[in-house]
Structure 1
Amino acid sequence: MTRTPPSARIAARRIRRLLAIGLTVVIAAITAAIGYQLLKSSASSSVTSPLQSLRTDKRGALGEADGAVRDGVTVFDDEIPAVANLDPDLVKALRQAATYAADDNVEFYVNSGWRSPEYQNQLLRKAVAKYGSEEEAARWVATAATSPHVSGDAVDIGRSQAIAWLSRHGAAYGLCQIYKNEPWHYELRPEATDRRCPRMYADATQDPRMQQ
Structure 2
Amino acid sequence: MTYRGSVSTLKIGAAAFTALAVVSLAVPRTAESQPAIALAAYSAPGTEGLTPALAAAYTAAYQQARRDGVPLRITSGRRSWAEQEQLWKQGIAKYGSAAAARRWVLPPSESTRVTGHAIDVGPAAGGKWLAANGSRWGLCRAYANEWWHFELLTTPGGTCPPPLPDASER
Q: Same fold (TM over 0.5)?
A: yes
d(CA) in 1 for partners of 2:57, 2:157: 14
Q: Which runs of 4+ in 1 moved over 6 A?
A: none
The alignment status of 1:168 with 2:110, answered yes or no, reads: no
| Residue aligning to 1:201 | 164
Deviations 1:97-147 (A, max 9, x none): 111111221232121110000000000111111111111101111111110
> What SS class does the counterpart of residue 125 from structure 1 fall into?
helix
d(CA) in 1 for partners of 2:164, 2:153: 14
What's the TM-score once normalised by structure 2's chain length? Answer: 0.71
d(CA) in 2 for partners of 1:111, 1:194: 25
d(CA) in 2 for partners of 1:138, 1:179: 12
Instruction: Tell me which amino acid in the other structure corresponds to 2:96.
Output: G
Deviations 1:32-79 (A, max 9, x none): xxxxxxxxxxxxxxxxxxxxxxxxxxxxxxxxxxxxxxxxxxx723xx
| Residue aligning to 2:83 | 119
* Structure with higher strand content: 2
* Structure with higher helix content: 1
Which consecutive unaligned segments of at least 5 residues does structure 2 have?
A: 1-42
> What SS class does the counterpart of residue 157 from structure 1 fall into?
strand
Report percent identity of matched pairs: 37
- 2:137, 2:157 within 8 Å by CA — same for their partners in 1? no
Larger Rg: 1
d(CA) in 2 for partners of 1:190, 1:135: 28
> What SS class does the counterpart of residue 177 from structure 1 fall into?
strand
> What SS class does the counterpart of residue 158 from structure 2 fall into?
coil
What's the TM-score once normalised by structure 1's chain length? Answer: 0.58
d(CA) in 2 for partners of 1:89, 1:201: 22
Cα distance, 1:168 vs structure 2: 1.0
> What SS class does the counterpart of residue 147 from structure 2 fall into?
coil
Instruction: Tell me which amino acid in the other structure corresponds to 2:151.
Output: E
| Residue aligning to 2:70 | 106
Instruction: Tell me which amino acid in the other structure corresponds to 1:204.
Output: A
Q: How does 1:3-152 map to 2 (within 5 A)?
A: 76-77=44-45, 83-152=47-116
> What SS class does the counterpart of residue 96 from structure 1 fall into?
helix
d(CA) in 1 for partners of 2:162, 2:69: 29
Structure with more contact order per residue of length (Cα contacts < 8 Å, sep ≥ 6): 2
Residue range with higher mean Cα deviation, 193-202 or 120-129: 193-202
* RMSD, matched Cα: 1.4
d(CA) in 2 for partners of 1:110, 1:95: 10
